Amino acid sequence: MEACVHRFFWILAIPLLFVCTARAQETLSAYSVGVSRFSVPYKPTDSEIPGVVWYPTDEKATETEWGPFRMRVARDSRIITGKHPLIVISHGSGGSHMAHRDTAIFLAARGYVVVALLHPRNNFLDDADGGSRANWINRPHHVSVVLDWLLKQSAYASCIDSNRIGVIGHSAGGYTALALAGGIPDLGAIGRYCTAHSDVAFCGPGGGIVSWLRGLFADNWHGAQAEDLRDARVRAVVLLAPMGVIFDGAASLSAVTIPVMLFRAGKDDVLRYPYHAEAIREKLPSPPQYVVVPNAGHFSFIAPFPKDRKAAVGAPANDPEGFDRARFHDRMNAAIAGFFANSLALDE
């Protein structure tokens, strides 16, 4: 009963939470947003980690075409000097580094440096490692390698506060963020879950994330607990419809002691309740800031797509009937900014 009341409370609290944080953040939108590309070598797979970095600038922003998207940014502009908090965004399996561009722009306009990486061999262009054991190990390492580059070698290094680093992760990116926060995944858990739940889209043939099934029942998956993938530089995480069944052990999240904001989609038909976001909430040693979003689908946390692209994109571009993704993102982004302002002590 207590868990049900807790979830119901958050359903009621969402409008108030979003209104309060949105008002608080209005005064912080003080900067134009700069944007640049980057690429970092990833030696374990002899590949590159490409990505995009958004940051506060004093140069004029203009409407800019970036592939199929339009953003109001100042391309390759200079970053405002000073020490800025850093947020890294990890996309879902088979996803894109542009998937959460609206959130990145919202945060950069409020003084953050925001980096979205394209996970090698697990993205919309190349998903060769999707569903493999190596992918679950490499994903957190990708973020750590990008952090190494940002803090030690990049042109932004002198402008980043290394004591104020957060991660946002959607779906498999939520797994990535939790692993960086100290979660210990059990790489045999997905196979056990899909043996028991073969009817769900996540596991069935032709399901929403088919690549995750590749090699799912191979011998090296069973009973294979991963190494400690934690990166102590990460001080807070936001999880958007996270993949949680991989954290199967009762103590798998016991070492996650940093602040967590956890969003669950009320109509997630890919990572179904209660095996993912809810299971994460129950295992965390301290209660997260938990938000249940009524009528949201699994992909509702991805930035809205241009209307002329929706048909080609398919499921990631669409929401349950009656759900307004653009309106939701306005409130979600304000709530995320408020969470990081508090958890990373933005005003100190």
Span 134-188, pLDDT tens digits: 899 999 999 999 999 999 999 999 999 999 999 999 999 999 999 999 999 988 8
Q: Which domain holds residue 235?
A: 2-343
Can you give the pLDDT at residue 1?
A: 31
Can you give the pLDDT at residue 194?
A: 80
Beta partners for residue 113, in sequence order:
86
Q: What is the mean pLDDT of the chain?
A: 86
Lowest mean pLDDT among 7-11, 65-69, 134-138, 141-145: 7-11
The SS3 assignment for 225 reads: strand
Q: Is residue 317 part of a domain?
A: yes
Q: Return the percentage of the chain with pLDDT > 70, whole number.
A: 83
Q: Is residue 105 part of a domain?
A: yes
* Residue 211: pLDDT over 80: no
The SS3 assignment for 55 reads: strand
Identify the helix (H) or strand (E) that includes residue 138.
helix 133-152
Strand order in 289-293's β-sheet? Answer: 62-66, 69-75, 32-42, 47-57, 113-117, 84-90, 160-170, 236-240, 260-265, 289-293
User: 93: closest CA among 130, 49, 67?
Assistant: 130
The answer to whether 277 and 241 are in contact (CB under 8 A) is yes
Q: How confident is the model at residue 221 (pLDDT cuts 50, 70, 90)?
A: very low
Q: Angle at the Cα of 112 (from 108 to 115), degrees rounded to 5?
A: 80
Dig out the tokens for 325 from the structure: 């993704």
Q: Is residue 83 part of a domain?
A: yes
Dig out the tokens for 315 from the structure: 């499921």
Can you give the pLDDT at residue 133?
A: 83
Contacts for 36 with CB less than 8 Å, ≥ 6 apart:
52, 53, 75, 76
Q: How confident is the model at residue 254 (pLDDT cuts 50, 70, 90)?
A: very high
Can you give the pLDDT at residue 337?
A: 97
The answer to whether 307 and 317 are in contact (CB under 8 A) is no
* Residue 214: pLDDT over 90: no
Read off the pLDDT of residues 318-342 as tens digits, 9 standing for 90 and up: 999 999 999 999 999 999 999 999 9
Q: Angle at the Cα of 174 (from 183 to 167), degrees rounded to 5?
A: 85
How many structural domains are present in the chain?
1
In terms of pLDDT, which residue wins out, 339 or 8?
339
Lowest mean pLDDT among 106-110, 121-125, 208-212: 208-212
Q: Is residue 348 part of a domain?
A: no
Indicate which CATH number applies to the domain containing 186.
Answer: 3.40.50.1820
State the Rg of the chain over Cα. 19
